Amino acid sequence: MDQFLFYLRQGVDHITDLQGVDHLVFIVTLCAVYQLSQWRQILILITAFTIGHTVTLALAGLNIIPVNQQLVETLIPITILLTSIYNIGNKTAQKRKVHLNYFLALAFGLIHGMGFSNFFRSMMMGISDESIVFPLFSFNLGIELGQVFIVSIFLVINWLLTRIFAIQHRDWNLVVSGAGGGIALTMIINALV
Amino acid sequence: MMRNPYKYILLFTLCLISSFAIKAHPIKITTGKLVVDSDSKSCELTLNFFADDFESTLQKEFPQLPFNYNDPSDEMKSTIDNYVVSQVSVSIDEVVVVFTLKTIALIEDNVCQVTFTGNLAAIDQFETLTIKNTLLFDAFDKQSNILHLYFNGDKVEILQFYPTIPVRKQSLE
């Protein structure tokens, strides 16, 4: 149980870490186009992202696929930037474009999973005499919990601003996506320089 | 588009956040294993570092030739030994364990592993373990160290050390 909680906490801490905001910014940008009333679509979107990152986290965590850390660190902000551009171009979640959103979440999830695996593999470096399946499961579950926490907080803020302060959802999306894009650009420059 | 004054506050806040929060995830971590055996009155400490972080930190403090893990020089052994002993300390029921460097190896592409042995002959009771682990804390702000603790063949706990929590106490009972 202690081990389970240890790796679970590592997963939660990793995705909610304010000193390393790449995954957090991606999730926030991904959800920027949605409102609280569209929670079913958000659930599908987050599930698609989860499926994507779970696949590559498991494959890389179990050493089935190799991961180029430098490349992944560059690709992650690119996924944020592309999501942000997509959001600014679309402004609101239109039904006909929702399926493309799910596909993007799934595809980008594959890249973020490799990022998670970099951290997971670092935690397990040199600890070769025990099975990593259980730690991997616990860590991934922690990431899911952290993800649900981020989305919940984000949607509550979204609801408060749009309902109480009468900010249009369209403006909210533009501002959040713009900020996400700005952060992503800075990260890309940092990764390349 | 921006007639509501709250929008300006929102825009300002998010611009502020976007100008500060620009870091991706830095991975600054060491892992390790401490195996304590009360029957044989011995213990083994294994530490794993990212070789580039470890070497750059030690080279800054003790300038010397690049580390050769295949054939460690006496200077390299002494540097690593002195550094680890200055940053990691283990005491069992207030008795400090003296460690002796055993091996240095590159176990993966960028992972350096060092092992130490400790003699516990002076220890009669094994009730409480106190560990200080400040490896690389001076070098990296985001450094944390993970240590898997085993006692008499059983895994007791996974301990994590941060700059804010450099010392951990653990009951062995």
CB of A78 less than 8 A from some CB of B: no
Report the residue from B1, B46, B158 with minimal CB separation from A6.
B158
Task: Give domain limits for chain A.
Answer: 2-192
Angle at B155 between CA B171 and CA A137, to 5 degrees: 120
Are the Cβ atoms of B6 and A122 closer than 8 angstroms? no
Note down pLDDT in tens along chain A; length 193 residues: 588 999 999 999 999 988 778 899 999 999 998 888 888 889 999 999 999 999 999 999 888 999 988 899 889 999 999 999 988 887 665 655 667 888 999 999 999 999 999 999 999 888 877 788 899 999 999 999 999 999 999 999 999 988 888 888 888 888 899 889 888 988 888 877 7
In whole angstroms, give the CA distance from residue B142 to residue B140.
6
CB of A191 less than 8 A from some CB of B: yes
Residue pair A74/A192 in contact by the 8 Å Cβ criterion: yes
Extract the tokens encoding A110: 């594959």
Task: Give domain limits for chain B.
Answer: 25-171
Candidates B1, B3, B10, partner chain A, best to mutate (most A CBs within 10 A): B10
In whole angstroms, give the CA distance from residue B99 to residue A62.
33
Extract the tokens encoding A22: 């790449």
Q: Which chain B residues have a beta carbon less than 8 Å from that of A175?
A: 7, 10-11, 14
Are the Cβ atoms of B10 and A20 closer than 8 angstroms? no
Report the residue from B23, B111, B160 with minimal CB separation from A21.
B23
Report the residue from B18, B24, B31 with minimal CB separation from A182.
B18
Q: Which chain B residues have a beta carbon less than 8 Å from that of A178?
A: 14
Write out pLDDT tens, residues A45-58.
999 999 999 999 99
Candidates A9, A175, A185, A190, partner chain B, best to mutate (most B CBs within 10 A): A175
Name residue, tokens 């180029």: A68
